[in-house]
Copies of this chain bind each other. A is one copy, B any other.
């Protein structure tokens, strides 16, 4: 058998839940997933025979990791849009909207991270926090500072988080204290960051550079064209913002009168391709949707941020129906939470506001929100063959999720051991209460709507354990 001819490093045993399509979560009970030294999934056995487990247990060098009763393995969550440099401002946005928010809260903080010790402090906390929430892959914005951006790349690499790290390119319309000198310098600094990542992680197995024009208003035409050329040459992904806020859209129209819409600004610069991640896309026109679709660009939906900054509500169902690939972004600190689970939760809430005008079919289900948080995000970042589900050939980016069992005094009277066993079920004290009568579907819904980092008991990336809930 195949499993005997290769080195199995770890065998995960228990219940596995993952998306098999946008609408369907699959629950694999009493199953096993075998992972090799490099973190690759070699085998998904469903259901697994006791005899097989016994055989594996005897193999030298093989570790068996079992999910406890009431616990389950879930694919790692993917954050397709997060500004690590803004993490300390989480929750601080007042009643601002995008353009005044940038000047009031955002640029001063980002600029201050040019101090390496401050960058280290902020980035190490941000990465630790996102890992604790189960973010196994993140597409990060750093700042416009090269050293600071490289500190973020190193931080992710050391912590073992899969990451795309982008230096913010911005040679226009930003304050003097926080702007690239000119297009040439901006490109040169971007290349420096790309070279740093290529040295840090030559095969790009964990950390890669991502080309990051901040957004059209803060980039000159020349800079965007240069970045478009660099994208074509380098094969790197590109991330930017699009159509987040109506004031921003008017600004883009006035800055780029030669373009019929916002998407065209990026397209003319060669920045719209199947390797492009567009954050927000709240107000895309039909023409823009058609263009994004034609170019195969991906969209990062950021519901928490869009609500907080009064940007509006992206019509995710419409995008999905068009066949456009959508993932979720926390958009810290436009979004106030570093949790992809919170983004998934609020994606369902935002979809309900959208449905008030667009009809019932606009609503996102639990299954769909969790698809966006895993497989959707993976495809946005070109990782659909690597992560997002439990399939042979993918890598082991996963969470162990546990909930809390509510003690039952009646049973306690009958059998003290039983009570203790049931109390031990799950993850200790977590915000998700199980009464014991829930089915798996209900348990997953409870996790989505009530869960937080306390339900994330362990986190692995590429087979390596990168987080464990503090005892």
A residues at B contact (CB < 8 Å): 87-88, 90-95, 117, 120-122, 125, 129, 307-308, 310, 312-313, 336-337, 346, 349, 352-353, 355-356, 360, 363, 365-366, 406-410, 429, 431-433, 435, 437-438, 442, 445-450, 452-453, 470
Contact B408 A90 (CB under 8 A): no
Contact A445 B356 (CB under 8 A): no
Task: Compute how far the CA of A307 lies from the CA of B117 in the bound complex, rounded to whole angstroms.
Answer: 42
Contacts A/B (CB < 8 Å), 30 sampled: A88-B433, A88-B435, A88-B437, A90-B446, A90-B450, A91-B432, A91-B445, A92-B445, A92-B446, A93-B445, A95-B360, A95-B365, A117-B408, A117-B409, A120-B409, A121-B407, A121-B409, A121-B410, A121-B435, A125-B433, A307-B353, A308-B449, A312-B356, A313-B353, A336-B449, A337-B449, A346-B349, A429-B470, A431-B452, A452-B452
**Of A307, A432, A470, which is in contact with the most chain B CB atoms at under 10 Å from its CB?**
A307
Task: Compute how far the CA of A308 lies from the CA of B364 in the bound complex, rounded to whole angstroms.
Answer: 11
Task: Compute how far the CA of A437 lies from the CA of B447 in the bound complex, rounded to whole angstroms.
Answer: 34
Contact B352 A310 (CB under 8 A): yes
Task: Compute how far the CA of A408 lies from the CA of B115 in the bound complex, rounded to whole angstroms.
Answer: 13
Contact B406 A121 (CB under 8 A): yes
Set of chain B residues within 8 Å of A450, measured between Cβ atoms: 90-91, 336-337
Closest CB in chain B relative to A233 CB, distance in Å: 38
Task: Compute how far the CA of A353 lies from the CA of B304 in the bound complex, rounded to whole angstroms.
Answer: 12
Selected from B346, B365, B446, B470, the residue in CB contact (under 8 A) with A94 is B365
Closest CB in chain B relative to A102 CB, distance in Å: 17
Contact A307 B90 (CB under 8 A): no
Set of chain B residues within 8 Å of A445, measured between Cβ atoms: 91-94
Since A91-B446, A431-B453 are in contact, a sample of 12 more A-B pairs with Cβ atoms closer than 8 Å, ordered by chain A residue number, is: A88-B433, A91-B447, A91-B449, A92-B445, A92-B446, A94-B365, A94-B445, A95-B360, A95-B363, A95-B365, A117-B409, A125-B406
Set of chain B residues within 8 Å of A353, measured between Cβ atoms: 307, 313, 353
Set of chain B residues within 8 Å of A409, measured between Cβ atoms: 117, 120-121
Residue of B nearest to A434 (CB): B88
Set of chain B residues within 8 Å of A88, measured between Cβ atoms: 433, 435, 437
Closest CB in chain B relative to A330 CB, distance in Å: 12
Contact A307 B452 (CB under 8 A): no
Task: Compute how far the CA of A407 lies from the CA of B446 in the bound complex, rounded to whole angstroms.
Answer: 33
Set of chain B residues within 8 Å of A408, measured between Cβ atoms: 117, 121
Contact B449 A349 (CB under 8 A): no
Closest CB in chain B relative to A353 CB, distance in Å: 5
Closest 3 CB pairs of A and B: A91-B449, A336-B449, A91-B446
Task: Compute how far the CA of A120 lies from the CA of B409 in the bound complex, rounded to whole angstroms.
Answer: 9
Set of chain B residues within 8 Å of A313, measured between Cβ atoms: 353
Task: Compute how far the CA of A355 lies from the CA of B94 in the bound complex, rounded to whole angstroms.
Answer: 15
